[in-house]
Amino acid sequence: MSKKDGGASAQAKQARADEATRQAGIRAGTDQINTTFDSQFNDGFFDKQRQNYLNFQLPQLDDQYGNAQRSLTYALARDGNLDSSTRGFQTGQLQKTYDTARTNVADQAQSYANTARSNVEQARGNLISTLNATGDATQAANSATSQAAILAQPAAYSPLADAFSASASAMTQQALLERNQAIGGAGGAYNTGLFGTAPSAIKTTR
């Protein structure tokens, strides 16, 4: 074997050894990444993300619902309709709004949990991609710890928008329409009884 052939063989042997070392580092780094992530980001973690959002938003929704109920009661009492069918109708409308808003909050809570899971898996994938390029298990382990700390931080939530503003606006418009109809004496197709029965709709007997 010539000196040149011997040198090439040694280089090839070293290259194989280097690649074997790199692959061992990738395996070790991948195990460290997975251990770090799997120990923190399990189903319980993502369930907590969903529950945290519910705990933040539902009390606000309940407060809004209570305020809307009190406003409705005040409006009905002011116009002498607390015991009328109007109360049942308007209360039913508020309940529908509340039920819809509660479903929306639950859907958003699940979306937060799903997004958290997606972010974790994206970070895991990025770390493994970097590890495959570098083969540096120590760097991978340190980066996994740093990323996990960031991903575990509590999410920041925005205050819940007023779920009953549209209902309140609709009730205000309805009340204004009925008040005008009652004053003008014109029977309205939209009369819910907030201001009694319009004069033209009252039947007189002789």
Q: What are the pLDDT digits (tens) for 164-187?
A: 887 665 555 555 555 566 666 544
For the stretch 110-132, pLDDT in tens is: 999 999 999 999 999 999 999 99
- For residues 163 and 63, is the Cβ–Cβ distance under 8 A? no
Chain CA centroid to CA 13, Å: 56
Give the whole-number percent of the chain exceeding pLDDT 90: 57
What mean pLDDT, rounded, does the chain reach? 83
| The pLDDT of residue 97 | 95
Higher pLDDT, 154 or 83: 154
| The pLDDT of residue 120 | 98
Q: Report residue 119 as tokens.
A: 């972010």
CA–CA gap between residue 200 and residue 196 (Å, rounded): 12
Cα distances (Å, whole numbers) of residue 43 to 69, 108, 114, 197: 38, 18, 11, 59
Q: Indicate the range of 60-74, 77-91, 165-179 predicted with least confidence.
A: 165-179
CA–CA gap between residue 44 and residue 122 (Å, rounded): 19
Q: Report residue 191 as tokens.
A: 């009369």
Length of the chain as a residue count: 206
Among 155, 166, 151, CA closest to 108: 155
Chain CA centroid to CA 6, Å: 66
| The pLDDT of residue 4 | 59
Task: Tell if the pTM clears 0.75, that is, is over it.
Answer: no
Average pLDDT for residues 14-18, to the nearest whole number? 87
| The pLDDT of residue 197 | 44
| The pLDDT of residue 87 | 79
Average pLDDT for residues 55-63, to the nearest whole number? 97
| The pLDDT of residue 204 | 39
